[in-house]
Copies of this chain bind each other. A is one copy, B any other.
Amino acid sequence: MEKTLTRKRVFEGKLLKIDLLDVELDNGDTSKREIICHPGAAVIWAKLPDDRFVLVKQYRKAVEDYFIEAIAGTLDPNETPDVCAQRELQEETGYTAKSMTKLGVIAPAPGYTEELFHTYYAELNPVQGNMNLDDDENIEVVYYTAEQLEKMIKSGEICDAKTIVAWHLYLQLAE
């Protein structure tokens, strides 16, 4: 356990916010923690009726490469994870879900970010509507079979953590 003694905002950007905390450890010592404040995100592991999975491909500046990832997005203010999942699915891919099952809540980097991934499995309706991307989003919808996904994870072509976790949780559900 680490008891919060003080907490203050030390950085406030457009996307990222950082709080600095003084904490008391179990042994009575004090330490400092820098934490990224984050409202959380929804991750949607999406399958079409023909058993292909729907993912998205986009350039990720932080790691300077194109990434193939599960559909995902940050919660809007006062938005529940369930609503966010439906919204992000439609915005990023144009698809809608006929059913949505919660797979779990995952922490991508609990050492320094509050972010939690509320992870869902969605069975999609087959008809794709319009996408609705932010101005600076350039997202390509991509389709893979189970066999292709397993190979792409093994080869490192898919190397995004939430995507591999969503796949593992989906496989557990499907067992």
Contact = CB atoms under 8 A, between A and B. Distances in A.
A105 B161 contact: no
Interface stretch (A30-38, A84-92, A120-128): A30-38
Interface string A56-94: 000111110001010000000000000000000000000
Oligomeric state, in copies: 2
Contacts of A10: 11, 13
Interface in A83-139: 104-117, 135-136, 138
A113 B108 CA distance: 11
A10 to B, nearest CB: 7
A142 interface: no
A110 B160 contact: yes
A153 B168 CA distance: 9
A167 interface: yes
A27 to B, nearest CB: 8
Interface of A: 1-2, 4, 10-11, 13-16, 18, 20-21, 23, 25-27, 29, 31-36, 59-63, 67, 69, 104-117, 135-136, 138, 150, 153-154, 156, 159-162, 164-165, 167-169, 172
